[in-house]
Amino acid sequence: MTDTRPPVALRTEALEQILTERGLVDPAVMDKFIATYETSVGPLNGAKVVAKAWTDPEYRARLLADGTAAIKELGFSGPQGEHIVVVENTASTHNVVVCTLCSCYPWPVLGLPPSWYKDPAYRARVVREPRTVLREMGLELDESVEIVVRDSSSEVRWLVLPERPAGTEDLSEEDLTGLVTRDAMVGVAKVGA
């Protein structure tokens, strides 16, 4: 019988087996790390924060006033999430996040940063020509929309509260969570309905 798993899955399994056989990796520890990044850390957490803010005006106000504390209310905290500032996209202002020095990123709510976020070209260009970079990434904004570039650092990590799409007023918090993407919370995309 032929193994139909993708080559990367096969290589990963082979690498884990070799590291385990040599005593360099404990499979239980690996399983714990994998489970953490699948369920405890990642963009689904951020999507839950956004959906809560869209459906609960009091939570939204707390989130914009003190992002770290409001995010912690939902049980999301940890390394790289010590100080998160949340900014809101509106019809007239669009925020986009970058870390020009390295790749500071709010891991508890967005997971690991994508490769493009760490790319020196993104880090340099989005500051100088944000509208062009966003267009290249598939986000076309009207010229009347002000683009604000937020530079994350080890002291402050930014999270974008995207605009809630029109026509979603009747959706539950759970349904809204499914609409929110990591890219929308970084500001390189909008949330579609």
Catalytic residues: 99, 102-104
The DSSP secondary structure of 56-124, one letter per residue, reads -HHHHHHHHH-HHHHHHHTT---TT-SSEEEEE--SSEEEEEE-SSS----HHHH-SPPHHHH-HHHHH
Among candidates 58, 50, 54, 115, which has minimal Cα distance to 76? 50
Among candidates 141, 142, 153, which has minimal Cα distance to 187? 141
Place of tokens 């509106």: 90
Terminal C-alpha separation, the chain: 42
Q: Which two three-digit tokens encode residue 191?
A: 């949330």
Beta-bridge mates of residue 150: 97
Q: CA angle 44-42-52, nearest 5°?
A: 35
